[in-house]
Structure 1
Amino acid sequence: MYWKTVQGTLFIDDLNAFLQKLNDFADEYDVTIQAMDAGKIAGTAHIELAIKKAIRAFESGSNVARDLGVEILRYASGKRQIVEAFSMGMKEGDISVVFLVLGEKNKVDAVLPALDSMVSRIEVIDYSAQKEEAVRGHFRIGYAETDAIGVSRIPDIVMERVSLVDILK
């Protein structure tokens, strides 16, 4: 499946209206759009693994969510429960965002300008020290864990959490 990202920062004053706008774009262009809090993303590999696992879950019939975007969010968040996965979604106020857009290439490419116009484009996917506390908190990464293997391995720990979503109860 073809996918692209749009990343940057934006201000959300009405979360419901914002989410409805994304749903309208998804319907109009016949694509899947999932918005995620970039402050909890540990790099491109994190997103790629979540997409791969969500698609595989749909193909095998083991998906928990009915919507591919929500299934991707569930894996990206490292949470088994959909309701917990939404903690990695959007919220009102200033936020760094990654929009994942999946579908047929021409349809994905067609919606990108509309999403692009919603954000101030800056690179926000890559893991950085500024994300450390948010990522630690979201993925429950303790100091004992990073003391043992090093703070630089936090993205690897996140990947492990994503990989274990289906195994851990």
Structure 2
Amino acid sequence: MYWKTSQGTLFIDDLNAFLQKLNALADEYDVTIQAMNAGKIAGTPHIELAIKKAERAFKAGSNVARDLGVEILRYVSGKRQIVEAFSMGMKEGDISVVFLVLGEKDKVNAVLPELDSMVCRSEVTDYSSEKEEDIRTHFGIGFAETDAIGVSRIPDIVLERVSLVDILK
């Protein structure tokens, strides 16, 4: 499946209205749009692995969510439960966001300008030390773990957590 991202920062004053707008765009362009809190994303490989795991789950019939975007969010969050996965989603106020858009290439490319216009575009997907505390907290990465292998390996630890979503109960 073809996918692209739009990313940057924005201010959300009404979360429900914001989510309704995203759903309307997804319906209008016949694509899947999943908005994610970029402050908890440990780089593009993090998103890529979540997409692969979600697609594989749908093909095998082992998906937990009925919606591909929510299934991707479940993997990207490293959580088994959908309710817990929403902690990777949007919130009101200032936020860094990654819009993940999946679908047919022409439809994905057609909706991207709309999403780009919603954000102050900037590279917010890559892992940075500014994200360390939020990522540690969200993924349960302790100091003993990073003392053993190095703090620079936090993105690798996140990939491990995503890989283990289906295994850990």
Task: Say what the alpha-carbon RMSD is for the aligned residues.
Answer: 0.3
Instruction: Report the CA distance between 1:58 and its aligned residue.
Output: 0.5
Matched AA of 2:148: A
The one-letter code of the counterpart of 1:107 is: K
C-alpha distance in 1, partners of 2:55/2:98? 19
Residue deviations 1:47-98 (CA, integer Å, cap 9, x gap): 0000010011011100000000000000000000000000000000000000
Measure, in 2, the Cα distance between the counterparts of 1:25 and 1:36: 16
| Counterparts of residues 129-168 of structure 1 (less than 5 Å) | 129-168=129-168
Correspondence 1:119-138 to 2 at 5 A: 119-138=119-138
Paired letter, 2:105:
K
Gaps of 5+ in 2: none
SS in 2 for 1:36: strand
User: What are the equivalent positions in structure 2 for 1:63-74 lying under 5 Å apart?
Assistant: 63-74=63-74
Identity within the alignment, %: 86
| SS of match in other structure, 2:106 | helix
The two structures have a TM-score, normalised by structure 1, of: 1.00
TM-score (norm 2): 1.00
What is the CA-CA distance between 1:134 and the residue it aligns to?
0.3
Q: Which runs of 5+ in 1 are unaligned?
A: none
Distance, in Å, in 2 between the alignment partners of 1:100 and 1:150 is 30
* Runs of 4+ residues deviating >4 angstroms: none
Structure 1 segment 15-164 matched on structure 2, within 5 A: 15-164=15-164
Q: What count of residue pairs does the alignment treat as equivalent?
A: 169
